[in-house]
Amino acid sequence: MSKTSAHTLVGMMTKKKEEKACTTGNKLSDKKEVCSKVKQFLLEEEARGSRRRELLYNGQMMTELEMVIEKKNADIKKLNENVKRKQCEMSLLQDVIDKEKKISEESSTGLKLNAMEAKTILENKAKLECRNRALKEELVKEITILQREDAGSEELLNKYKRFRNLISRLSSRVGQEAQRTEKKDGQNSELEKTAVCKKPKFLTWKYCIDSIRVVHQIEDLENQNLFLMENLTEKSEFMGETIEFITKVLEEEERTQILKVNSMKSKCAIERRIADIVKKKVQLHNLSTTVDQDVLLETLRKKVSEVHSCFADEELTTNSTLEKLAFIENHMTMLLEKHEKIPKDEIKTLWHIKENEKRRRWREEKLRLETEKREEKMRRRAELAMTEPKKITGRKLMPRYMPVVRPKTKAIVEDTPKPEEDLYEDLFS
């Protein structure tokens, strides 16, 4: 019995050992399976993480490229606007130059016409002066002739006056002698009276007839002299008026001609100044256009080289600006095509990632500003604490009542539960 019991005990022990070995083997196999699954899961997670990182990196690169492209597009638009503005300015300046050229041509033609007009005016002035001189000479001749006629008429008047005085004297003497003879003859005899009286009567009558004729001639001469004097006065007045009128007309014409000549001289001087100013403006415009074109080309070359250096090799930096622009355009079209080929789900994820990145940056900026404000407050408080307190002068005022001292409440510290231990901590270690 003892032997059978021992055998049974040994069998039981061996069975238990085998069962324990099986259980341990099963546990080990389960652990291996779990480890393999965990490793596969981790590898998948790493692959997913790498994919996510690649997507994030690609998204960041795409966003950066989009930002760069937007900036460069904005720069190119600005350059195009500047080029268009400069072209408009060039066209306007060209129009101004054309207008100034036309104005200069018109001014030159105007100067020529003004010179011709001035020449004609001077010729007309010379002709008028010649005519006026001829008229003056004719008037002087007529005046001299009239003065001679006046002198002759004055001489005739003087002669007439002399003859009249003589005739008056003679007539007075003859009358006195006749009276005397009549008185003497009255005393003589009648025969003698008749014989003697016939002669004196005849003589007296003869003398009277001669005196009457002389008086009539004198009256005729007086009338002629008066008529001549009236004609001379009228002619002299008319000649004086004509001379005054001609002198006034000549003076006015001289003034007008002088004013015209002065105005033409001033216009010529102004036109010359304008022509000099236009020439200077044209020279400055030519210089400015060349300088502006050089500056624009230099700035455009720099911008294009900057944009080209962002995504081009160093070997292609020696190309011209047109080749660089063509390369940039091709690169932009390729990027746009790649961007269109990206699926919508990835674009959405990238957009969400981008938005999250923006929010994160905004939060970081906000936290940074808050920390800066807090540090500034702490610095000010420390400065205030380090400064010496102000000395209170005067009598100390006591309070009207004693303040109640309350006991300070201690802050209750709650024990936060520790997080549960990770089951796979040994696997990750």
Q: 178 exposed, middle or buried (CB, 10 Å; 0-12, 13-18, 19+)?
A: middle
Q: 219 exposed, middle or buried (CB, 10 Å; 0-12, 13-18, 19+)?
A: exposed
Q: Note down pLDDT in tens along the chain; length 429 residues.
A: 444 444 555 556 566 556 655 566 666 677 677 777 777 777 887 787 777 777 777 777 777 777 777 777 777 877 778 777 777 777 777 777 777 777 777 777 776 777 777 778 778 777 877 877 777 777 777 777 776 776 666 676 676 667 667 666 666 665 566 566 655 555 555 544 444 444 444 444 444 555 566 666 667 776 776 777 777 677 777 777 777 887 788 788 888 888 888 888 888 888 888 888 887 877 777 776 666 677 778 888 888 888 888 776 655 555 777 888 888 888 888 888 887 887 888 888 888 888 999 999 999 999 999 999 999 999 988 888 888 777 767 666 665 655 555 655 555 544 454 444 444 455 444
Tell me which residue has tokens 């080209």: 308
- How many Å apart are CA 68 and CA 337, to the nearest integer? 17
Token pair belonging to 212: 């009457």
User: For the chain, what are the domain ranges?
Assistant: 12-41, 105-283
Confidence (pTM): 0.27
47-57: buried (b, 16+ CB within 10 Å) or exposed (e) per residue?
Answer: eeeeeeeeebe
- DSSP category for residue 312: S
Straight-line distance from the first to the last Cα atom of the chain, in angstroms, rounded to the nearest whole number: 56
